[in-house]
Amino acid sequence: MTLTHWTPEDLASRVDEVLSVYAEAMGYPPEVARMRHGFVVSHSQREGLRAVAVTAADDRLLGFGYGYLGGPGQWWHDQVGEWLTPEAYRRWMSDVFELVELQVRPEAQGRGLGARLLTELLGDAPGSTVVLSTPEADEAKSRAWRLYRRTGFVDLARHRLFPGDDRPFAILGREL
């Protein structure tokens, strides 16, 4: 397996593979993931973009992660900002690296790939904090939750609904 830092062009050129991994990891039908194509391509041009990928020996994408500097006027940033108190918003969202995606194919999970991706992604990330959203889960059973807790993420908001998904999400943050 190879871990690689991707350029914006790498992320945009492999968007179909990225969305395939995203759909598998999140349990979405492929057609739902394909609707995010334009979002991922536009995200690849955001300020402060950092993207990493893990590939198999045959270059098959096993996992990926990316994020960028967030700010007012960006949909996710504004959505999450509505759920925080003004004090929490200033602390967590003023100079924030938004971790947009961190996904590993289900058959590749349990091998430490998520932790490797997260470590590489946040190693030199811009910003003073990192914030992400993740589906609510049984924290004892969810690999993602265990990873985020083990790496210092704390609750900022819980049980929040995003348009287009029936599952409640948690908003988690950590200082960089």
Cα distance between residue 29 and residue 155, in whole Å: 28
User: Which residue in 22, 66, 68, 148 is the catalytic one?
Assistant: 148
Helix axes 75-83, 86-93, angle to 10 degrees: 140
Residue with token string 């590993």: 104
In terms of Cβ atoms closer than 10 Å to its own Cβ (0-12, 13-18, 19+), residue 35 is exposed
66 has catalytic annotation: no
User: What is the maximal distance between C-alpha atoms in the chain?
Assistant: 48
Please list the residues that pair with 102 across neighbouring strands: 65
End-to-end CA distance of the chain: give it in Å, rounded: 27
Instruction: Determine the 3-state secondary structure of 67 from DSSP.
Output: strand
Place of tokens 């995003």: 162
Query: Could you give the 3-state DSSP secondary structure of residue 116?
Result: helix
Beta carbons of 67 and 50 less than 8 angstroms apart: yes
Q: Which residues does the annotation mark as catalytic? A: 148
